[in-house]
């Protein structure tokens, strides 16, 4: 049986858990923290997937594996792939800001690097807000990655969608998805 290690709040882990639920593969979710994941993952981050002799250490490779194992292509549409990668870039910047504040109490006001990360988040969210996020074709991996990020950003009180109406409407629609609901972090 596949095992996926991670925590309930990580947007990267959540995306993988949703694809696992969609595929109906039997799996065991093992909730872990940064200390434990650092002991079992060579890159010391979440998620980590183990399936027999196979170990995957990045959410993108996990998603590719799960899609191919279920017989569906992973990221066949270039625009969706761009959305996925844009979201990853903005999410990585947010995670940097979040971790530096939480672990070292360093804010953008104290660091040129973090100032750049903060402006990347702001301009990135504004750019994402301009994208057509039509849901008539379903929830692609690019859209799912975006929804997991936005929900995490709101949950962790790190982003605000008040002036980003397109993203706000999009997230409201995705929050009706049964797998998105099932993987919602505890409040």
CATH code of the domain made up of 78-177: 1.20.1050.10
CA distance 47 to 18: 13
Per-residue pLDDT of the chain (187 residues; tens, 9 = 90+): 999 999 999 999 999 999 999 999 999 999 998 888 888 888 888 999 999 999 999 999 999 999 999 999 999 999 999 999 999 999 999 989 988 988 899 999 999 999 999 999 999 999 999 999 988 878 999 999 999 999 999 998 889 999 999 999 999 999 999 999 999 988 7
CA distance 101 to 167: 25
Residues of the chain with CATH 3.40.30.10: 2-69
The string of DSSP letters for 26-47 reads: -EEEEE--HHHHHHH-TT--S-
Total residue length of the chain? 187
Residues of the chain with CATH 1.20.1050.10: 78-177
Identify the CATH assignment for 2-69 out of 3.40.1370.10, 3.40.30.10, 3.30.70.920, 3.40.190.10: 3.40.30.10
Q: β-pairing, 2-6 with 54-56?
A: unpaired
């Amino acid at each position: 049986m596949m095992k996926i290690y991670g925590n309930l709040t990580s947007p990267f882990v959540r995306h993988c858990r949703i694809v696992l639920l969609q595929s109906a593969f039997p799996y065991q979710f093992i909730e872990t923290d940064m200390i434990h994941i650092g002991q079992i993952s060579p890159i010391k981050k979440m998620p980590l997937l183990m399936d027999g002799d196979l170990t995957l250490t990045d959410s993108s490779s996990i998603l590719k594996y799960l899609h191919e194992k279920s017989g569906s292509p992973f990221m066949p549409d270039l625009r969706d792939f761009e959305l996925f990668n844009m979201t990853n870039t903005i999410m990585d910047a947010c995670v940097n800001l979040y971790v530096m504040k939480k672990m070292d109490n360093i804010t953008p006001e104290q660091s040129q690097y973090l100032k750049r990360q903060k402006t990347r988040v702001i301009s990135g969210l504004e750019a994402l807000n301009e994208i057509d996020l039509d849901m008539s074709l379903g929830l692609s991996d690019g859209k799912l990655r975006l929804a997991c990020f936005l929900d995490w950003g709101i949950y962790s009180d790190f982003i605000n969608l008040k002036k980003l109406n397109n993203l706000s409407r999009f997230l409201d629609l995705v929050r009706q998805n049964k797998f998105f609901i099932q993987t919602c972090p505890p409040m």
